[in-house]
Chains A and B, each alone.
Chain A
Amino acid sequence: MADADHAYLDARVSMMATGLHDPDTIDRLATLPLSALVDQLGLDALLDAAPSPRARSRAIEQALVHQLLAELQVLIRPLQGDERELMLAWGRKYALYNLKTLLRGKLHALEAETIAEQLFDLPAPIRLPIHTLFRAESVEELLRQLETGPYRQIARQAREVYARRREPFALEAAIDQHYYLGLARHVRTFGAPHGTALRRLIGAALDRVDLLWLLRFRLCYGLSPSETFYWLVPSTGLLGRERLLRLVALDGLEPVIEALPAPLAGQLAGSEDIAEVQRRVNIHSATIARALLAHGDSAPARALAYLMLREADLLRLFAIIQGRLLGLAQHTIDAALERAPSGCTWRAAACTRREET
């Protein structure tokens, strides 16, 4: 039985959860032609209005993110205090996407209009002071501007990192790291009755991020164990500080997977590449979110679980639409949807290429 203080939120989440797509629906949508797909999703007017595939893709992405954040606003309405702040902290990732878009725009000296086209239109509680930030003529100036507002911590850290290393990677890594550190810090402050469920949910999300970052930083970018560990965010789930210290010291995908705690080790066993790890760890975190949504006692945790699943749903829909807009092969769309093991997808792609030649 859910907590009585949040009966409205609980009912609202249950109602909204009926709109989530099950895997069969996603499979069915993935086979539809573009016109039928956008018609079914009520996005046909957006496609008619946009002149180019790029603009159409952008319009669809904007509409889907807008939908997600509108639902976030609905769900935070009955919440107050830390619970509301945690939900907003989760939604701030879209503000940070905007910040990274602005930073990339400034780094590559793009026109303001070009940058503006790529920004998400965000609701007031998580919106960046875009007008002020647009006035900045360099990355440093932009981050200085941002230091005067609620994003002060992230901006200061990012500016200091950028000032020392002048690398876009370090800048974006610092922003992402601060976002997840903030989430972890936030969720640790919760006690009963929501703390356990929220830590489990955020923990699963952090486990996913940590594992993928660890593998990429160590195996793809060749960072040292020390530097890799520094960029990771100790999770409230399976990959806590001590576990991460042990994992970053390992070399190779297989030893890392073997050293993971249960049930991750079992679920990821046999993964041959990072893409497959990503697919399986996504399933792992989605399973936890689904379980919390279906059987959880904490309404705020259920609401956050719903938003996470909804976001994944909308990302899948966007992947299908974008694939259709760009005329990509079905196996490429399937790979983006993570419908089958990554090896199968790439083998299918190779078969298709052989048949074509």
Chain B
Amino acid sequence: MLSPTAMKHVRLLVLAEDLPTASLALAETGLFHPDARAPDEARLDTAPARDYRRHHERARQRLDKLAELLDLALPQHIDQPRVIEPESLAALDHWLGELWQTASAHAEGLRQLDDEARLVAEHQAALANFAALDIDLAVLRNNTRFLDIHVGMVPRENLARLGGALGLAHYLVHVYMQRGDQTHVVIVGPSDAAPESLPQVLAAAGFQALPIPVELDREPARVRQQLETRSADIARRRAALERELAEWGADHRAQLLAAQQTLLLAAPLVALDPALRASGPLAHLAGWVPASAVEALEQRLRETLPHPFALSARDPRADERRLVPTVITRNRLLAPFATLVGQYGIPEYGEVDPTPLFAVTFLLMFGSMFGDLGQGAVIALAAWLLRRRLGRFWPFGLLAGLSSMAFGLVFGSVFGNEHLIPALWMSPLTDPLRMLTLALLWGVGFITLACTLAIYNRVAVGRWRDAVLGHHGAVNLVFYLALVGAGVGLAEDGALAPWPATIAGLALATLAWASWREQQGPLIERALVVFIATLETVIGYVSNTLSFLRVAAFGLNHVALAIAVYTLAGMLGEVGHLITLVLGNLFIIVLEGGIVMIQVMRLQYYEGFSRYFSGDGHAFAPLRLPRD
């Protein structure tokens, strides 16, 4: 379970015309992780799926835009696998392009109607303003022999520059009203000196003319009526256009959903594009496949490809180990723990997958630090009830709760009460020193296991020197165990045991020698670095071991908190007693539970992963078809 899934490098030669079929078959198996490296053969230099990908990308963009506009939910899974040939994908892209032209014309029509409606509203406001003035509006309506007059509006931010620009041509810009970000103006200038560039300047400034109707002087009500009619007409046209768009969308709904299927089915070949090379009709594809699945993959290709193909598989070379993807644990119970491991990194190919070990040690530590039958049951029940919202994390909560319950039985604690059930072992507060000793032993075991895994991982990837002399390598482990032996001797007999102390000294000297050989630079600097590194090794192991005292400390803290809650509750009446117990337990579950979780993660990441787990790998991400 800890060892990684063995992988093979697979090289597939097929006819380029079979690529859509091959990509679909590979995606159906869900076993092929593409390798984008160029093949050794220089002749394989063209990208056979480039046009396919271009059509797919454009069609995808068009379909997504159409779906947004028509408020159409596109399913993200396929119904029935089928091969999508390049010609049909190109035709789909073209058809979607035509559809988008029509749809965007509708959308633009809606926006233009909105602009028109805004203009009418501005016009109404302007005319209401003019109607209140006691002037001859005909003057403003018509250009006279001497005056060139423009009535309209301009964005407020452009007004100052427009005023300056028109001032150069001896025009005046008179502001008569401000509405929102628009300024209503009357522009007046000499007719005989109107600059040729006036239309350009007005256009650049976003000037929109708001002509004054002839009837405004005599029949203002009629003009208002006309504008209201126009406004209503725009609203009617807008509603009609919206209806038309909705009907048009409904007519094309089935075809658009079919287009989504086509694009989902074409996606595997698009995903393969960076890994595909061809020379004439021959296409080359490489990737990584679990060793146990190569035969099944070949069989699947034999069943589906209409023309001959060549498939070869080999073990990963030493120089490409970092390129080999790692298959992540897919066990449902371990999945949330795998996600937490993933936060640190992905195991490099060949390294031990730490997920099962992480899960077991996490649950043991969490349970021992937060052991309570009742509170654990609340956590487990909450995880179960909230399983839809927690997604794949709910087993994590459930297992943590169950672990807490199991240790609750061991400690005889139910919602902090230690008198309801007999302890299978003892309450932590009965013998704190024993608890602390056990925590230290647990720490020694944990660090020893972490160092052993570090040695194994380095041997597995051929880093022998690191396995022996590197950080947390074999010499470090010997030193650590000897140091522990010497420490035990000191604790029991009051003096260092000679053999463990000698072994620890020799191991430390070996480490110092190895460090000395690695250093460059002046003698003093090397000596200083080696001294500090050696000192850090000693201090590091001691402090890291002591760090596990927190496992016992939190177990004790848990009991102490429960005693505090019961003491407080004991001071109150019946109702107060009950409320304090409920709130106190909630407080312990939420706050202390959270802190314990963080502490366990810290021990795992810092004392465990940092020793044996590089996290430099990348996950196996095979080509897949999106199914339900």
Cα distance A161–B195 in the bound complex, in angstroms: 20
> A134: nearest residue on chain B (CB-CB)?
B61
Instruction: Say which residue of A112, A137, A174, A229 sits within 8 Å of B161 (CB atoms).
Output: A229
| A window 120-137: CB within 8 A of B | 134-135, 137
Least CB distance from B11 to A in Å reads 25
Which residues of B have CB within 8 Å of A244? 164
Report yes or no: B195 in contact with A230, Cβ–Cβ below 8 A: no
Contact A112 B57 (CB under 8 A): yes
Residues of B near A230 (CB, < 8 A) are 161-162, 164-165, 201, 204-205
Residue contacts A-B, CB under 8 angstroms, 20 given: A111-B54, A135-B62, A144-B111, A161-B204, A173-B204, A224-B169, A224-B195, A224-B196, A224-B197, A226-B201, A227-B165, A227-B200, A227-B201, A229-B161, A230-B161, A230-B164, A232-B161, A234-B161, A241-B160, A245-B164
Partner among B61, B97, B104, B204 whose Cβ is within 8 Å of the Cβ of A174: B204
Please give, as numbers and ranges, the residues of chain B lying within 8 Å of A161 by CB-CB distance: 203-204, 206
Complex partner residue of B164 from A111, A144, A174, A229, CB under 8 angstroms: A229
Binary interface encoding of chain A residues 232-261 relative to chain B, with 1 for a CB under 8 A from any of its CBs, else 0: 101000000100110011000000000000
* Contact with B204, one of A134, A181, A225, A227 (Cβ below 8 angstroms): A227
Whether B206 contacts A160 by the Cβ 8 Å rule is yes
B32 to chain A, nearest CB (A): 26
B28 proximal to A (CB < 8 A): no
A174: which B residues are within 8 A, CB to CB? 204
Question: Once the chains bind, are A226 and B198 in contact (CB under 8 Å)?
Answer: yes
Cβ–Cβ < 8 Å partners of A157 in chain B: 155, 206
Q: A residues within 8 A CB of B104? A: 137, 141
Known: A111-B54, A135-B64. A165 touches B168 (CB 8 A): no
Query: Max chain B CB contacts within 10 Å: which of A165, A230, A249?
Result: A230
Contact with B along A134-176 (1 / 0, CB 8 A): 1101001100100000000100010011001100001001100
Residues of chain A at interface, number, CB under 8 A = 34
Residue B27 lies at the interface, judged by CB distance under 8 Å to chain A: no
Provide the B162-194 mask, 1 if CB < 8 A to any CB of A, else 0: 101111110000000000000000000000000
Chain B residues with Cβ under 8 A from A249's Cβ?
A: 168
CA distance A226 to B58 in the complex (A): 44
Contact indicator A170/B168 (Cβ below 8 Å): no
Residues on B with C-beta less than 8 A from A94 are: none
The reply to whether the CB of A110 lies closer than 8 angstroms to some CB of chain B is no
A221 to chain B, nearest CB (A): 11
- Does A223 sit within 8 A of B, measured CB to CB? yes
Q: Which residues of A contact B206 (CB under 8 A)?
A: 157, 160-161
Instruction: Give complex CA distance A104, B104 in Å.
Output: 21
Q: Which residue in chain B gives the minimum CB-CB distance to A174?
A: B204
The answer to the question of A231 belonging to the interface, with a C-beta cut-off of 8 Å to chain B, is: yes
Q: Is B65 an interface residue (CB 8 A)?
A: yes
Cβ contact of A226, chosen from B100, B157, B169, B203, cutoff 8 A? B169
- Determine if B116 is an interface residue (Cβ-Cβ < 8 Å): no
Q: B108 at the A/B interface (Cβ < 8 Å)? A: yes
- Is the beta-carbon distance between B168 and A225 smaller than 8 angstroms? yes
* In the A-B complex, the 5 residue pairs with the closest CB atoms: A224-B197, A230-B165, A135-B61, A164-B203, A226-B165
User: What is the minimal beta-carbon distance from B306 to any residue of chain A, in angstroms?
Assistant: 32
**Least CB distance, B97 to chain A, in whole angstroms:** 8
Measuring CB to CB, which residues of chain B are less than 8 angstroms from any residue of chain A? Answer: 54, 57-58, 61-62, 64-65, 97, 100, 104, 108, 111, 155, 157, 160-162, 164-169, 195-198, 200-201, 203-206
Chain B residues near A232: list those with CB within 8 A.
Answer: 161
Other than A112-B57, A181-B157, A225-B169, give 8 A-B pairs with Cβ distance below 8 A: A140-B108, A160-B206, A161-B203, A165-B204, A226-B198, A231-B204, A232-B161, A234-B161
Are B203 and A229 neighbours in the complex by a CB distance under 8 Å? no
Report B47 CB to chain A, min CB distance, Å. 11
Chain B residues, CB < 8 A from A245: 164, 167-168
Separation of A50 and B167 alpha carbons in the complex (Å): 54
User: Which residue among B166, B167, B204 has the maximum number of chain A CB atoms within 10 Å of its CB?
Assistant: B204
- Which residues of the other chain, B, contact A224 by a CB distance below 8 angstroms? 169, 195-197, 201
Cα(A62)–Cα(B167), bound, Å:
44
In the bound complex, residues from chain A placing their C-beta under 8 Å from that of B166 are: 226
Is the beta-carbon distance between A226 and B195 smaller than 8 angstroms? yes
Could you tell me the distance between the alpha carbons of A223 and B168 in the complex, rounded to whole angstroms?
Answer: 13
Q: Which residues of A contact B157 (CB under 8 A)?
A: 153, 181
List, in ascending order, chain A residues with CB within 8 A of B198's CB.
Answer: 226
Complex: A56 Cα to B267 Cα, angstroms: 32
CA distance A249 to B161 in the complex (A): 15
Chain B residues whose C-beta falls within 8 Å of the C-beta of A223 in the assembled complex: 197
Which residues from B are CB-within-8-Å of A135?
A: 61-62, 64-65
Instruction: Give, as a whole number of angstroms, the nearest-CB distance from B162 to chain A.
Output: 7
Q: Name the B residues within 8 Å of A181 (CB-CB).
A: 157
**B164 in contact with A165 (CB, 8 Å):** no
B164 CB contacts on chain A under 8 angstroms:
229-230, 241, 244-245
User: Which A residues are in CB contact (< 8 Å) with B54?
Assistant: 111-113
State in angstroms the CA–CA spacing of A234 and B165 once bound together.
Answer: 12
Cross-chain contact A137 with B204 (CB below 8 angstroms): no
Q: How far is the CA of A234 from the CA of B157 in the complex (A)?
A: 13
Q: Which residue of A lies closest to B200 (CB)?
A: A227
For B155, the closest partner residue in chain A by CB is A157
Cβ-defined contact, A137 with B100, below 8 A: yes
A303-B201 Cα distance, complex, nearest whole Å: 37
A135 to B167, CA, bound (A): 43
Shortest distance in angstroms between B435's beta carbon and chain A's nearest beta carbon? Answer: 46
Residue of A nearest to B104 (CB): A141
Cβ distance B153 to chain A, nearest Cβ, rounded Å: 12
B168 near A226: Cβ-Cβ < 8 Å? yes
- Nearest Cβ distance between residue B10 and chain A, in whole angstroms? 28
* Closest residue of B by beta carbon distance from A230: B165
A165 to B442, CA, bound (A): 78
Q: B208 CB to closest chain A CB, in angstroms? A: 9
Name the B residues within 8 Å of A227 (CB-CB): 165, 197, 200-201, 204
Q: Which residues of B contact A234 (CB under 8 A)?
A: 161
Provide the residues of chain B in CB contact with A144, threshold 8 Å: 111
In chain A, positions 95-118 with a C-beta closer than 8 Å to chain B are 111-113
Residues of B within 8 A of A137 (CB): 62, 97, 100, 104
> In the complex the two chains form, what is the Cα distance from A249 to B162 in whole Å?
15
In the bound assembly, the distance between CA atoms of A144 and B58 in angstroms comes to 19
Q: How far is the CA of A314 from the CA of B156 in the complex (A)?
A: 38
Chain B residue at smallest Cβ distance from A232: B161
Partner of A165, one of B57, B62, B162, B200: B200
